[in-house]
Chains A and B, each alone.
Chain A
Amino acid sequence: MLPDSFLIYIVLAPGLAALTGLFHKWIGDRVVMAITTGVVMSAGALSLYQLFAYVAGLAGGAAPEHHAGFDAYLTAGTDVAAVELKQHIITLMPWIHVGDFQANWAIRVDTLSIVMMAVITGVSGLVHLYSWGYMSEDPHKARFFSYLSLFTFMMLMLVVADNFIQLFFGWEGVGLASYLLIGFWYTKKAPNDASIKAFVTNRVGDFGLALGIMAVFFVFRSVEFGPVLEAIRTNAVVTPMAFAEALPAREAVIVFFGERVYALELIGVLLFIGAMGKSAQFFLHVWLPDAMEGPTPVSALIHAATMVTAGVYLVCLLSPIYEYTFYASGMVALVGAVTALYAATVGMAQNDIKRVIAYSTCSQLGYMFFAAGIGAYEAAMFHLFTHAFFKALLFLGAGSVIHGMHHEQDMRRMGGLAKFMPLTYAAMMIGTIAIIGLGIPHTKLGFSGFFSKDAVLESSFAGAMAGVSFAEVAFWFGLLAAFLTSFYSWRLIYMTFHGPAPHAAHDHHGADDHAHPDDHGHDPAHTPHESPAVMLIPLALLSLGAMFAGVYFYDAFVDGQNEAFWAGAIYRDAANHVLHDRHDVPEWVLWAPLVVTVGGFLIATFTYFFNRGVGARVAASGGPLHALFSNKWYFDEIYQVTLVRGSAFLGNIFWRADKKIIDGLGPDGMAKLAGLSSRGLSRMHSGYLYHYAFVIIGAAIVFGAVLWLRSGGAN
């Protein structure tokens, strides 16, 4: 394991590196880029080393040097469950200390944060590198890299928090970075709109998250994960504030809006609302597709691999809470399942290459949530982990396509790119095979998505057999979504890389423009071109992850070694066997994902490869179903009419009430009563001042008189 100083470096150095952006005028863009990239990549190397060393230590079983080091390093908790929680907390400095409300700046190292650190800094380092190529013509490079590093720092602060408040700091901090990066091209309308939409939608989620944290403090009198989760693990007796009813933590009640409800249920639901916002789940997903207005490296890092998975991380981190809820965990499962299917239906009908991948992200996040909701937290984290690689790969590949196509994002204007950009094509193929989860059951043959997605689906089937609520819905929705995933992923490949190449009719259409549309330095014919090495190297490294992360980490995350690996960072009740029981599901369940995946592939191949145009014709004649899908089920329109216009309407009413009612009955009314028109007021000008002075002097006289009388009376 890494010494404290290295861990502090990993977390804080990207934040300091981000600050160099403030001085870019004096030190130059290149220096800022070099410092941020160097710092984040070195942090990435350290974090990945940490993860690999940890897993290698497990695999060795008796590999004493690593494992012993880990044990000596991580202090054991006092967990009653079979697996004791191993974690190590570095307290940096106190933050907010008011009574029982104690929040520190801290770095919490346990398996969850080790995994997240590796994902965040690993992908972020590659995205920094990639951006050297992708953003090479942008005049605001220093600002871009500085924001990227700021994001990395905030995300790290989120995952290493040892209390809810620092988690909230990271949570909103990544929201800020996301806002700044979506709106990076700030002179244009669409990115500005999208950035505000993202921030505000996330704030709706944060409304829930903040209330959830308040409820946690109310019940447990602490905002630190340690004491709170420990109380639930051990089912210790807690006395919520303001009523003296001491109950075991898992049965504690709270009065919310006058209703007595189970505290854990309430907390679980409220916190999950926050997760829904950050992770773009059904109802609060509307910001994610619009966030594609940001530069593509941002989409890869923030809106695919890391930030949007924060909600999943939250649910897994708080597994003790969700483990002892019925409604809250059911909600997680149901919302996840619905999102997985919903986003896949919309993804089929999009023509913007980035939006297809965005909806795909949304859908995959749904898988993670329903896995967590039915109690297979490890499978959720595993899918989060593998998804980070192949989704970042797909986005960066799409960025390479957009770069090569001179900022074209509409897939209908693409085609035949395989021969112009073979390396990008190869990377996208790898990403696609990984995301559709292609692999042979009973073997170790398959890309990373195979291992994680099948673990998720099999666990949900096992959950259904065990009667876990919504597990059956989750399984079927997940299976159907897997079919759709395969279809839209291959559709993307065919529309982009195969068929004829209609690139001649090029115009500057995509939102993802470079800042200098015409000063591009490319050949005038605008032939598509392969991207530079600095962009291809990250693609290659992510391809390795997309291929092998699944098979390499399978044992540790979800199979034989998972208890030793998680070391208590994820908590399961002794009665929760969902993850293990997936080995006992019927044979057809193992093969079903493969069948639907191949089915989706065949249909996509038929409609978009052999019979190019069939897909477009189907879409054109599509009828209401296609309209529903391509218009994203009209969520934006509904929200616009109800929430946005409704609030604006209320705002206008209130403003008028201020003027007409409050002022009308108050000062204006009095002025009228006193026969003063506003012109009369002007004439008396500052006459009221004398009135005021008069009152003050009068008051003093009254005071004096009263006191004088009183003292006179006393004598």
Chain B
Amino acid sequence: MGSLPILTLMTFLPLAGALLVMLIHSATGGGGKSGKLVLATGILVSAATFAVSVAAFMAFDPDVAGYQLVEQHAWYGPISYKLGIDGLSLSLVVLTTFLTPICLLASWNSVGKRMTEYVIAFLVLETFMIGVFVALDLVLFYVFFEAGLIPMFLIVGIWGGKDRVYAAFKFFLYTLIGSLLMLVAMVYMILAAGSADVEVLETYSFAPGVQTWLWLAFAASFAVKLPMWPVHTWLPDAHVQAPTAGSVILAGVLLKMGGYGFLRFSLPMFPDASALFQPFMFGLAVVAIVYTSLVAWRQTDMKKLIAYSSVAHMGFVTLGIFAFNETGIQGAVFQMLSHGLISGALFLIVGVVYDRMHTREIAAYGGLVNRMPVYASFFMLFTMANVGLPGTSGFVGEILTMVGGFQAATWAAAGAALGVIFSAVYMLTLYRRTVFGEITNPGLNAIRDMNFVEWICIAPLAVLTLLFGIAPNLIFNLTDGSTARILSMMARGQ
């Protein structure tokens, strides 16, 4: 409502940057060094977007519950162009704008072909991702939510590995079914409530029987995104095939849309159905944690291992969200942010050696510490963060979601706590096989430690992982208002 539409600016700045990149490309003819120029432009644009998101952060008052910086324009009938943020969406927006420049920078040496298209894909993707988190209109949300997949498909499908088509196909199939169901549900909701405005829908009470169906339709979409067991099998393939930066964005931001969706739509709008499905969701969360942790342990591909580990960590998010209490939901939101940093960093870490050796096979490595001590240190830090060592951000999310889950169902917390054991098993095994030991693969004898660009990409993630591990209240102060609001809307239903 302020004079400057800061959210619109933030959302569409990357899109404008994509146009600029196109112009530069045609001006320079796209040959020779223009790739680096284009990439530098992309980095600058995404950095500027980050700056705008920081401005939004400064303008945001954490003590005010409800949406802020709202922009609303009538669009078509019950549909309007409405943007706004609360603590939940703001924290995810900042995560997005923070990770995007890092992703582009990480591509500095590793992406060879079609640089212009690559940068455009990333900038367009950024617009859609931000849009998902700031949209306060059902249709607008849907458009951003679905459209965002197109650049992601392209990133996997064009710059991916050799089985990229199969991976993208799987991704597509799962998402498609979820999307169609959600779409149907949305149409029903708009017709019933007469508005697509999220704030209106939050106060609209659907009959419990209707809620169940709507909840299932939304869950079909969000569960695929998160992903939850058993609709997770697209993720390992997509990660393995995606280029490093694609994996970072996929794990760092795209998965969070699922958790965000549950918190923004399912809990407040279908409180009775959410309560009804609580045991079911807990069951899936525990299966995800135990099952995928064990699967992760058996992997021979570094990226696949981390992808499976992501599924397990998202299980904690599910657990926290469906605990329906402050501890659980705050923990879930924190876990999403923390996982964005940690898994993003782990994919960058894999990318560092992949760029040098062009293999992700764990067996091809071993003894890296002898040649890459700095790399080994960062890898150790994120390994420990991923196993949830206290003092890193990974711990805070896990313990709070489990504490929250314990209040709702002791068996769910106990099952999730098993994951704490298994995560140590697979991460330490991975670390030991790749980093420790003697160098046995002669190809590693000349491998070089992290270069400056890689250092710049990973160091900020390391700093934040530790900072949020030691002072997580920085996040909680931001998100406690929206958590309380979600809980109050849930209480309305019961």
Contact = CB atoms under 8 A, between A and B. Distances in A.
A complexed with B: yes
Interface of A: 22, 93-99, 101, 105, 165, 168-169, 172-173, 176, 179, 183, 186-189, 192, 195-196, 199-200, 203-204, 206-207, 210-211, 213-215, 217-218, 241-242, 254-258, 647-648, 650-652, 654-655, 658-659, 662-663, 666-667, 670-671, 678, 681-682, 685-686, 688-689, 691-693, 695-696, 699-700, 702-704, 706-707, 710-711
B471 A189 contact: no
Contact of B414 (A165, A183, A211, A667): A211
Contact of A647 (B176, B297, B408): B297
A200 B150 contact: no
Nearest to A670: B173
A186 B298 contact: no
Interface stretch (B179-187, B205-213, B352-360): B179-187
A707 B174 CA distance: 28
Nearest to B477: A97
A210 B423 CA distance: 15
B166 interface: yes
A211 B294 contact: no
B174 to A, nearest CB: 7
B190 to A, nearest CB: 8
Contacts of B165: 681-682, 685-686
Interface stretch (B5-13, B25-33, B399-407): B399-407
B295 A186 contact: no
Contacts of B377: 22
Contact of A666 (B174, B191, B432): B174
Contact of B157 (A169, A211, A686, A710): A686
Contact of B173 (A172, A176, A257, A666): A666
Contacts of B233: 658-659, 662-663, 666-667
A8 B292 CA distance: 43
Given A218-B406, A255-B410, A654-B291, A101 B157 contact: no
B172 A688 contact: yes
Interface stretch (B75-83, B107-115, B250-258): B75-83
A590 to B, nearest CB: 45
Given A187-B438, A702-B187, A695 B425 contact: no
14 contacts: A94-B471, A98-B400, A186-B435, A192-B432, A257-B410, A257-B414, A647-B297, A654-B295, A658-B233, A662-B230, A686-B157, A691-B176, A692-B149, A703-B139
B437 A186 contact: yes
A187 B370 contact: yes
B436 A186 contact: yes
Nearest to B142: A699
Contacts of A98: 326-327, 330-331, 400, 476, 480
Contacts of A214: 402-403, 406, 413
Contact of A688 (B169, B291, B295, B367): B169
B297 A695 contact: no
A195 to B, nearest CB: 8
Nearest to A140: B373
Contacts of B422: 647
A695 B396 contact: no
Contact of A695 (B168, B180, B299, B438): B180
Given A213-B399, A215-B406, 11 more contacts: A93-B471, A188-B437, A207-B417, A658-B295, A667-B174, A667-B233, A671-B169, A695-B146, A695-B176, A696-B146, A707-B78
A654 B420 contact: no
Contact of A689 (B154, B424, B470): B154
A667 B173 contact: yes
B322 interface: no
Contacts of A699: 142, 146, 179-180, 183
Contacts of A218: 406-407
Contacts of A666: 173-174, 230-231, 233
Given A165-B399, A207-B421, A647-B297, A187 B367 contact: yes
Contacts of B473: 94-97
A217 B400 CA distance: 11
Interface string B55-92: 00000000000000000000011110000000000000
Contacts of A711: 77
A263 to B, nearest CB: 12
Interface residues of B, number: 85
B294 A654 contact: yes
Q: 3 tightest A-B contacts by CB?
A: A651-B294, A169-B390, A214-B406
B400 A96 contact: yes
Nearest to B483: A98
Interface string B413-441: 11001101110110011001001111000
Contact of B436 (A95, A187, A700): A187
Contacts of B176: 691-692, 695
A651 B403 contact: no
Given A211-B417, A667-B173, A667-B233, A703 B187 contact: yes
B424 A199 contact: yes
B384 A176 contact: yes
Given A211-B417, A242-B408, A696 B147 contact: yes
A95 B467 CA distance: 11
Contacts of B174: 666-667
Interface in B322-381: 326-327, 330-331, 367, 369-370, 377
Given A200-B421, A211-B414, A667 B234 contact: yes
A203 B437 contact: no
A699 B417 CA distance: 42
B20 interface: no
Nearest to A700: B143
A545 to B, nearest CB: 32
B400 A707 contact: no
A497 to B, nearest CB: 36
Contacts of B294: 647, 650-651, 654
B472 interface: yes
Nearest to A647: B294
B153 interface: yes
Nearest to A25: B373
Nearest to B436: A186
B391 interface: yes
A168 B370 CA distance: 32
A650 B298 CA distance: 10
**A196, A254, A257, A648 — which one has the most chain B CB atoms within 10 A of its CB?**
A196
B280 interface: no
A97 B421 contact: no
A177 to B, nearest CB: 11
Contacts of A200: 421, 424-425, 428
Nearest to B389: A172
**A183, A214, A242 — which one has the most chain B CB atoms within 10 A of its CB?**
A214
B168 A688 contact: yes
Contacts of B142: 699
A678 B418 CA distance: 37
Nearest to A682: B165
A200 B432 CA distance: 13
Contacts of A655: 295, 298-299
Nearest to B180: A695
A589 B149 CA distance: 78
B206 to A, nearest CB: 18
A710 B231 CA distance: 35
Contact of B402 (A22, A210, A663): A210
Contacts of A254: 410
A168 B389 CA distance: 9
Contact of A207 (B408, B420, B471): B420
Contacts of B399: 165, 168, 210, 213
B290 to A, nearest CB: 9
Interface string B251-267: 00000000000000000
A94 to B, nearest CB: 6
A707 B79 contact: yes
B407 A241 contact: yes
A16 B437 CA distance: 29
